[in-house]
């Protein structure tokens, strides 16, 4: 009898431990998810008084994940300015808080947009507002952009053109900031990257209606396990920029990754956003 009670007690104990471990795993998963989103804004601030069209400078954010945003959003990234605007997924004007991108709900984090806007408004007339239009999608290749492929439920170039037209209705298209190339950092794609980049920027300008539109390109980071091929992409970017005086390149070799050797850390993303702005102002 005592033996049977002892065995039953052990079974209950092991079962309880199993449930406890299971609950801990679930809890850890939730905590990891919560960590990414814990500082996301809880409400949107819609723009009720739209600035005059002549006073709005419009910039499009395009590329893949390091432009779409993978950094950890912190409280400082959600303080809005009345002069920095963006859109929500319904194309409604809102005051910008990070994250700006909304296409990849399970991955999106801090991007360069707000730090870009904050640096910009310090150096332009007080009458000017900045409208940031997110179009980047993580993992997208330059060929997919050229071919207007549907990637992660976004028709890449069609979506870009839609946001471009939206921007024109609110202000003047002043520039495109582009960060992409990680998906092309392989032997089959690298040698054609400069040519494809040239074609894509030509398409950007053609659709903007401005053949002299400024394009600012960020280099890939210097922290990849695939670093030699990332360097080759950067060489292709810099080579193209020597042929196009209206394209500027932002240096990233001193910036850090967030621990995955792919994506910039939050601190580095903020620095990168400021560098985009400074390069534009130059």
10 lies in the same domain as 125: no
Least confident of 29-38, 247-256, 267-276: 29-38
7 lies in the same domain as 72: no
48 lies in the same domain as 34: no
87 lies in the same domain as 58: yes
Band (pLDDT 50/70/90 cuts) for residue 18 is very low
Q: What is the CATH number of the domain that holds 113?
A: 3.40.50.1110
Band (pLDDT 50/70/90 cuts) for residue 32 is low
187 lies in the same domain as 252: yes
User: How confident is the model at residue 7, as a pLDDT?
Assistant: 43
145 lies in the same domain as 125: yes
Band (pLDDT 50/70/90 cuts) for residue 20 is very low
Q: Domain range for residue 84?
A: 44-281
Taking only the tens place, the pLDDT of each residue in 251-266 is 999 999 999 999 999 9
263 lies in the same domain as 185: yes
172 lies in the same domain as 209: yes
Number of domains in the chain: 2
Task: Note whether 50 and 170 are within 8 A (CB).
Answer: yes
Under 8 Å CB-to-CB from 131, ≥6 apart: which residues? 56, 57, 58, 59, 85, 86, 93, 167, 170, 171
57 lies in the same domain as 16: no
Residue-averaged pLDDT of the chain:
91
50 lies in the same domain as 126: yes
Taking only the tens place, the pLDDT of each residue in 77-105 is 999 999 999 999 999 999 999 999 999 99
User: How confident is the model at residue 94, as a pLDDT?
Assistant: 98
105 lies in the same domain as 213: yes
């Amino acid at each position: 009898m005592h033996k049977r009670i002892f065995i039953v007690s052990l079974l209950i104990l092991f079962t309880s431990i199993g449930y406890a471990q299971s609950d801990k795993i679930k809890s850890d998963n939730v905590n990891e998810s919560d960590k990414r989103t814990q500082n996301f804004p809880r409400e949107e601030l819609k723009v009720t008084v739209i600035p005059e069209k002549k006073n709005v400078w419009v910039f499009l954010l395009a590329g893949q994940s390091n432009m779409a945003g993978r950094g950890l959003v912190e409280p400082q990234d959600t303080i809005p300015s009345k002069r920095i605007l963006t859109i929500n997924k319904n194309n409604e004007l809102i005051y910008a808080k990070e994250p700006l991108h909304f296409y990849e709900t399970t991955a999106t984090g801090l991007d360069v947009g707000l730090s870009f806007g904050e640096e910009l408004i310090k150096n332009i007339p007080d009458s000017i507002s900045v409208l940031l239009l997110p179009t980047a999608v993580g993992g997208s290749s330059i060929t997919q952009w050229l071919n207007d492929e549907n990637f992660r439920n976004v028709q890449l170039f069609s979506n870009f053109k839609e946001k471009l037209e939206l921007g024109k209705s609110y202000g003047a298209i002043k520039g495109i900031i582009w960060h992409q190339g990680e998906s092309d950092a392989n032997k089959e794609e690298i040698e054609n990257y400069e040519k494809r980049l040239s074609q894509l920027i030509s398409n950007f300008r053609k659709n903007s209606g401005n053949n002299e539109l400024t394009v600012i390109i960020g280099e890939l980071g210097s922290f990849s396990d695939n670093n030699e091929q990332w360097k080759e992409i950067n060489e292709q970017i810099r080579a193209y920029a020597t042929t196009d005086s209206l394209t500027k390149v932002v240096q990233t070799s001193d910036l850090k990754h967030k621990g995955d050797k792919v994506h910039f850390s939050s601190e580095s993303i903020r620095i990168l956003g400021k560098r985009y702005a400074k390069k534009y102002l130059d």
